[in-house]
Amino acid sequence: MGESVSVPGGTIAYETSGAGPLVVLAHGMGDSRAAYRFVVPRLVAAGYQVVAVDLRGCGESSARWPSYSRTDIAGDLLAVIRHIDSGPAVLVGHSISGGAATIAAAQDAGLLKGIIELAPFTRRQSIKLGDLRSKRYRTGALPLLGAGLFGSVALWSRYLDHAYPGSKPADWTDRLAHIKARLGEPGRMRAMRKMGLSAPTDAGAQLGNVRCPALIVQGSLDPDWVDPRAEGEAIVAAMPARVGELAVIEGAGHYPHDQYPEETAHLMLSFLEAHAHA
């Protein structure tokens, strides 16, 4: 059942399932909490209270906001956790909200038992000329850039097709139709474009201030990086010693939780077993 919390500038929608230690799930740009539709039942069955959030500008949350930075998103997610008032949470963030999870952990360690970042953009990025020699990277980067520059749903769809290398979810046709319909709503594409233009430097500046346990999950075929494993290793290296750990899902692209939900949930549950019950 959908609920919402008011924060300065609008409302943040979320949906709660199950009972137990609190796990909060945040999706990536241009998406909605439906991104976790395969993961939520697995976490609930394992005995967790799961809260799936729609980011500002996305899903059923307010569409129009003054800004859409990772710092803004971190504030929204912390507000949801405080509003639910079920105790400290493990915060899961994908892509842009992976960077937001970094910031949230640095800002309010008392509210978080741990963070899980799925294919996170949480460090400063720069494209080198040599990167474009990688066909996998080039084929994803060009439509991604075009979608951001021109607000093109068609180019975003092309990017998504490449971001799920190999197998697609069984409900892919409906999933893609749902994403396109949401982006067609007033203000939604603007929100996605603003998120895409938001540099992850605010998150990168906080990596050294993360004190709670952190799990970074990368897909081995994620087209957003020439070397996804190296990106994950760099994130862990920027955190204090023994705070972060890296897991790589072979064959996964930028959406491991949607493309390989069983493997992703297994990694999440192992982390939760170690840290959510403390």
In the numeric block, the tokens 């709670």 are attached to 212
The structure's pTM equals 0.96
Residue 221 has a pLDDT of: 96
In this structure, is the dihedral angle defined by the CA atoms of residues 271, 36, 57 and 198, taken in order, positive or negative?
A: positive
C-alpha 74/C-alpha 218 separation (Å) is 21
Other residues' Cβ atoms within 10 Å of the Cβ of residue 266: 14
Q: Could you give the 3-state DSSP secondary structure of residue 51? A: strand
Tell me the pLDDT tens digit for each residue of 253-262: 999 999 999 9
Other residues' Cβ atoms within 10 Å of the Cβ of residue 75: 21
Residue 1 has a pLDDT of: 56
Pairing of strands 10-17, 49-53: antiparallel
Q: Domain spanning 2-275 has what CATH number?
A: 3.40.50.1820
Other residues' Cβ atoms within 10 Å of the Cβ of residue 86: 15
Residue 130 has a pLDDT of: 67
Tell me the pLDDT tens digit for each residue of 21-62: 999 999 999 999 999 999 999 999 999 999 999 999 999 999
Tell me the pLDDT tens digit for each residue of 165-189: 988 999 999 999 999 999 999 999 9
With residue 144 as reference, give the H or E element that holds it.
helix 135-150
Sequence-distant (≥ 6) Cβ neighbours of residue 126 within 8 angstroms: none
- CB burial class (10 A; 0-12, 13-18, 19+) of residue 241? exposed
